[in-house]
Structure 1
């Protein structure tokens, strides 16, 4: 099947209708599959084989006639010609079956919910009845972004096949995680299946058990207004569950044991925020859980060391206080851009901060720094568009106590909770609400609303997706890559401590600043050593300033030979030597680079964004 042309406004059709069709097709553009493969030989291959065998038969007969052996030549050529005829008949039947399969795919596009047949791969097997026959088994592959969780979705596809072929089909298997649907004809199937349509399914008393175990996050829609809610997952009825960061319950807390899906959910929330153009600050206390978001456009910083994490949290609190002052002076809160502050494994982080304060002989206020700052952000940040996203492991975390529950807007509890924890979490109501121990399965409650069981969307880690090379994951990641980078990367600069004592280190940490650009230690390229940097002083106000230059984010199509660029996390910072177009692919460019660890070549999308460095010492 070949890709169809984009939808165009036909005579009598309004431009709005055509625009809606274009938007519908654009949703699936990032998940367009490769050309469909067919089992066995194609019609063209069978036709070519038939022609080759016929030529062989004629050649054998001609040679034996020249040798004055026409009788043996005819005996040898006749069965070979018979094989050629059989192959020709098989080629004609295969061509008819391919045409029937193409028409079948066309009948399924509407009930499945795809723009055209290029998004479907239909494998029709066990053809019976007549010369062409009717397929007994249909295996259909479709994009995982399709909304297939609605009740009766698979049955609607079976009814469309029945209307096209005139044969009754039933759903044999539906693997929503991988986008696979299998239909079979019960009239030729073993077992006591009836050829009558199946009755409507009755409501399941445990809808969570019917929820798909893995649902890929749908690509972002074209409309990315800042006020658009962030998708979390789908409930058992197929409805999408969202979280509104700008609403009255704007903060988000994710609860769950290790392996329950906290990291995957936080990754999805961060990508959703970044593609909207919001700045994202991340405190990753485990250091490696969210490292795939480093250098992601609009994710300004992923703090992994404890000192950096303290600085990021302190600056988030300062940002909130400065916004409060702006509102007091007459600025409308609606004019303040959302800032997403994400703290992964908050309780471990708060404990580490308290231990560091104790080693520095700080007061009780220093020991409670992390808890106090986060509590204040939860209580007042939503009024000035500072959005807090937290993750904790235990259901008895102090943040979930009664005095803090009003500050927690939206709560996602992943995995199964025991009865006491569930009762405390939901304030005695819906105490039996608890999800199965399936990664990503959880219970969501917004404010004082009703708790609902959902399957949270699965989002691949950007770094892991590039390392593994899974095409579907890479397409999804590229769909969420912001085309416009609105916020530069940040790094932490701290003044040099006057001594090595814990108290001096603590004071230097609290005096740290967030500065645009990468830290000097981030470069793995020898050429960076030529950048001039000012000497650090003990004075807090003037310490740590970097005169090495500045950086910006550009599209790959804007790269030029000589640029110092960060192509990906594996190569680090490299010098671009040459940029060429990829043959037969106008969407990708081939980049030849050289770095401190050698040289290489990378083929990337021309619209992908990368960071380049401008040095101030005359190198560029």
Structure 2
């Protein structure tokens, strides 16, 4: 069953869908703590009554003392003060009623259970007996998805419909979950359109406000429980992202070479892996996403065409298997998200068609990639299988109307031809194209209007290690998952690929994915340092190790003496001899090791994830 639909465009669910149709995002949320706004209406009314009683009492006492004139002089101003205080209490009560009605309206707009989950601080009331607030500070729960580019505008529109006064966005504090509305107009009715010159200035200011580079922020604990994958920021600094729980959950990334597709995909993979989701990657360019091959929870990066065919076919089988589980009575909420990244789909589909033609297969086999991806787009979201498609052009035959409707978010990097932009955005085509800045893109989420964003920059792990960039390595260490939930996979075939294209095609269609590293992985450059051949000293010979068996990712703090581990590309596979804490620094450990090229030591963060191997005979 599909997840609970959001209340409106601006309140999209960011948590796992509930199979029973209930929105349980707020199960752990607490009602908002009200802002202290001075005396309550009841306290003001009580003060007015107290002043009146004091005035009458003093008048009676002074009259009994034969001072009626002084009693009257004290009585009249005190009663006037009491009356003014009571009037203020009445007006405060009426204003509180206005804000209470506004809170109820916003609660429905944002999809929160009731108004108690919102705190609205109204200040600087002006105009008439009750008036309208000049400033509105709206505090909302963290469970509300505020990632849509026009989310603050939707809040302002909802307030306008309730109060019949227009507000502008003063500030949207995404981290603090607070939006400030300012400067209401003093005329009722529909929103007053802004002059074109002001719109142009605002658009230019937003474009200039976008930085040329924004490093990917480290996910918080709340981020890791959300199904919203952040992609970048817009001109106001508001975070925008890909919401897997949206009615259309797939993501499309468009852009020419050099526009930033690889960097964006690396960030998406890192974010998905940090949430503990398995990630399968088809990299038609072979080396673009090689840097995340050893990233925790990235189960496989298929770089050869034969492996790519197997991974795509297995993803389709996984989807069909999940559908069978749902049919047998399982709940969709029990199925964790599987993210399938297909980099340069058109090149991949063309290569698959060429391979099918060489194998003497029919038209159906030639369209294997197109058909499998189409099925994943149509039915994958219903069983939490999500596709990230990377393409160079928006006029690809795959993106005909019915498939385009299955894609929830589109990120177009760089400039697009006017004809292509018209096909992609339709009547919502942005008036200002993205600038030729790496990572600058136009993004559309759901039915919202396209908005100009700057995508987050994520370092390539392989390149960062190669150049030993300390800043990039520090960021990657903070982004690396501390818990590995999914093992590495390899392609397992019933027999070796043959010289005959037809036989190889059939072998690939019947192949599976199995845990661990297969025999074909022995040629990887990452493992070459652990396999030295030929002569050498007796000390070096004593540390020669065979890396067959299965592996897993653990934190450095879990290493023990005798563990066979791969600390980095430079040391390769080594035997851990000693693990010592660093004095006065509880965040790092000193690792002493011995490998094929000698012995050494290294200071490593306790929470860094490294790979260890369990040999087939159980002996290190």
TM range (shorter): 0.5 to 0.7
- CA drift of 1:309 comes to 1.0
2:409 & 2:519 partners in 1: Cα distance? 39
8 Å CA contact 1:292–1:463 kept in 2: the answer is yes
What is the number of equivalent residue pairs in this alignment? 408
2:497 & 2:305 partners in 1: Cα distance? 19
Tell me the residue number matched to 1:490: 489
1:191-202 equivalences under 5 Å are none
Tell me the residue number matched to 1:401: 400
Tell me the residue number matched to 1:313: 312
1:400 & 1:380 partners in 2: Cα distance? 16
Tell me the residue number matched to 1:554: 554
1:500 & 1:515 partners in 2: Cα distance? 24
2:203 & 2:532 partners in 1: Cα distance? 65
Mean CA deviation greater in 408-417 or 584-593:
584-593
What secondary structure, in the 3-state scheme, does the structure 2 residue paired with 1:613 have? Answer: strand
1:527 & 1:489 partners in 2: Cα distance? 19
Question: CA 1:553/1:526 → structure 2, altered by over 3 Å: closer, same or farther?
Answer: same
Tell me the residue number matched to 2:389: 390
1:32-181 equivalences under 5 Å are none
What secondary structure, in the 3-state scheme, does the structure 2 residue paired with 1:436 have? Answer: coil
Tell me the residue number matched to 2:280: 281
Question: CA 1:525/1:456 → structure 2, altered by over 3 Å: closer, same or farther?
Answer: closer
5+ residue gaps in structure 2? 1-29, 31-148, 150-199, 534-546
8 Å CA contact 2:532–2:596 kept in 1: the answer is no
5+ residue gaps in structure 1? 1-15, 17-149, 151-200, 531-546
What secondary structure, in the 3-state scheme, does the structure 2 residue paired with 1:454 have? Answer: strand
Tell me the residue number matched to 1:439: 438
1:604 & 1:205 partners in 2: Cα distance? 46
Tell me the residue number matched to 1:60: none
Tell me the residue number matched to 1:56: none
**TM-align CA RMSD:** 2.7
Tell me the residue number matched to 1:325: 324
Tell me the residue number matched to 1:580: 580
Tell me the residue number matched to 1:238: 237
8 Å CA contact 1:340–1:389 kept in 2: the answer is yes
2:411 & 2:573 partners in 1: Cα distance? 38
1:247 & 1:331 partners in 2: Cα distance? 21
| 2:313 is aligned with 1:304 | no
Question: CA 1:205/1:370 → structure 2, altered by over 3 Å: closer, same or farther?
Answer: same
Question: CA 1:288/1:548 → structure 2, altered by over 3 Å: closer, same or farther?
Answer: closer
After superposition, the C-alpha distances for 1:334-363 in whole angstroms (9 at most, x for unaligned) are 221000000111111111111111111111
Tell me the residue number matched to 1:569: 569
- CA drift of 1:551 comes to 2.2
Tell me the residue number matched to 1:221: 220
8 Å CA contact 1:490–1:515 kept in 2: the answer is yes
What secondary structure, in the 3-state scheme, does the structure 1 residue paired with 2:202 have? Answer: coil
1:375 & 1:209 partners in 2: Cα distance? 39
Question: CA 1:515/1:203 → structure 2, altered by over 3 Å: closer, same or farther?
Answer: same
- CA drift of 1:549 comes to 3.3
- CA drift of 1:465 comes to 2.1
1:294 & 1:566 partners in 2: Cα distance? 14
Q: Which contiguous aligned blocks of 4+ residues in structure 1 show a shift greater than 6 angstroms? A: 525-530
Question: CA 1:499/1:552 → structure 2, altered by over 3 Å: closer, same or farther?
Answer: closer
8 Å CA contact 1:208–1:436 kept in 2: the answer is no
After superposition, the C-alpha distances for 1:392-436 in whole angstroms (9 at most, x for unaligned) are 012322233334211222110010112101101112432535211
2:435 & 2:529 partners in 1: Cα distance? 52
1:352 & 1:572 partners in 2: Cα distance? 34
After superposition, the C-alpha distances for 1:184-236 in whole angstroms (9 at most, x for unaligned) are xxxxxxxxxxxxxxxxx962446324311111111101224543311111111
Question: CA 1:484/1:509 → structure 2, altered by over 3 Å: closer, same or farther?
Answer: same
8 Å CA contact 1:422–1:433 kept in 2: the answer is no
Tell me the residue number matched to 2:338: 339
1:497 & 1:522 partners in 2: Cα distance? 14
1:356 & 1:584 partners in 2: Cα distance? 60
8 Å CA contact 1:419–1:431 kept in 2: the answer is no
8 Å CA contact 1:433–1:451 kept in 2: the answer is no
1:494 & 1:572 partners in 2: Cα distance? 28
1:375-386 equivalences under 5 Å are 375-386=374-385
Mean CA deviation greater in 610-619 or 449-458:
610-619
Tell me the residue number matched to 1:609: 609
Question: CA 1:403/1:579 → structure 2, altered by over 3 Å: closer, same or farther?
Answer: same
Question: CA 1:526/1:443 → structure 2, altered by over 3 Å: closer, same or farther?
Answer: closer
Q: Please report the TM-score for the alignment, with normalisation by the length of structure 2.
A: 0.62
